[in-house]
Amino acid sequence: MPFRQVAVVLLALIAILGAGLFVLSIGDDEPDDSSNVDVSPGDESTTTTSSTSSTTTVAPITTSIPTECGATDDIFEATTTTVVTTEPPADEEDGDEPPEEDPIPLVPTLSLQSSLSTVGLDEVTFGLTVDQATQAAGTPMLNCEAVTDCYRVAPEFAPQGISFVVHEGTIERVDIVGDSPITTRSGAGIGNTDDELDGLFGDRLERVDLGGGLTDVIFVPEDENDNEFRVAFTTRDGVVETMRSGRVPLVLEADPCG
């Protein structure tokens, strides 16, 4: 091969190799978007933030609440918070804020040893508002039905089978049902017989035949201050099945809110 042809071929090969190296060098100089990210301070469009949120689960507290304020064996679950009461703040003087009072927690007072009387159940007496009854019982009063002019409430932390009738904004009747050991101050309660009631109250009792073996045995107090109140025992075949106390006429009605 003539020398001129050899020289041309060599020059062509050198030119091809040079072009390839040039292309490779350009590719290496281009930035890699996947590895090199320029994040400017305060540039929210290129800054990714991550946050961790925590969820607090409130465990339900199992509480015994009478079904429709009548049954005694149903268990309801309810998330409960501590209920506290505070005294009203003192009047502000010269712009000074009144001192903060420590909350006073409610302490349940109704128990298996509670006693029924012509004026109420322990400290929950007739004529109290629901808020006042809550303070007296040391426990929230749970609505058993929609709030109207007449409805029932049940104490949240108390023996089963207790319910109160709220009439025109105040407690006016209490019912005791089920196998409750609660008795009157004289010791009369569920499970007593007609003869035992006669032995305790004598001629202060009145009877109303309800039919079907049911009788209302009604205690009429002697004290004139209590003459608008009654304690009634409903007996079945001569044995007390339920009892109640309250203001006339609500206490004498089978369905006081009916």
List the chain pLDDT tens, one digit each, 258 residues: 565 665 556 666 666 666 655 555 555 554 444 444 343 444 444 444 444 443 333 333 223 334 456 433 333 333 333 444 444 555 545 556 666 666 668 899 999 999 999 999 999 999 999 999 999 999 999 999 999 999 999 999 999 999 999 999 999 999 999 999 999 999 999 999 999 999 999 999 999 999 999 999 999 999 888 899 999 999 999 999 999 999 999 999 999 998
Residue 160: inside a domain = yes
**Distance in angstroms (rounded) separating the CA atoms of residues 66 and 74:** 7
DSSP structure class, residue 76: E
Structural domain count, the chain:
1
Domain enclosing residue 184, as ranges: 101-252
Residue 95: inside a domain = no
Residue 68: inside a domain = no
List 120's β-bridge partners, or say none. 117, 125
**Distance in angstroms (rounded) separating the CA atoms of residues 198 and 213:** 18
Residue 72: inside a domain = no
**99 prior amide bond cis, ω within 30:** no
Residue 16: inside a domain = no
pLDDT at 105: 80
Side chain identity at residue 134, one-letter code: T
Residue 4: inside a domain = no
Residue 177: inside a domain = yes
Greatest distance between any 2 Cα atoms in the chain = 151
4 in helix, strand or coil?
helix
Residue 244: CB atoms within 10 Å: 23
List 163's β-bridge partners, or say none. 175
Residue 85: inside a domain = no
pLDDT at 21: 57
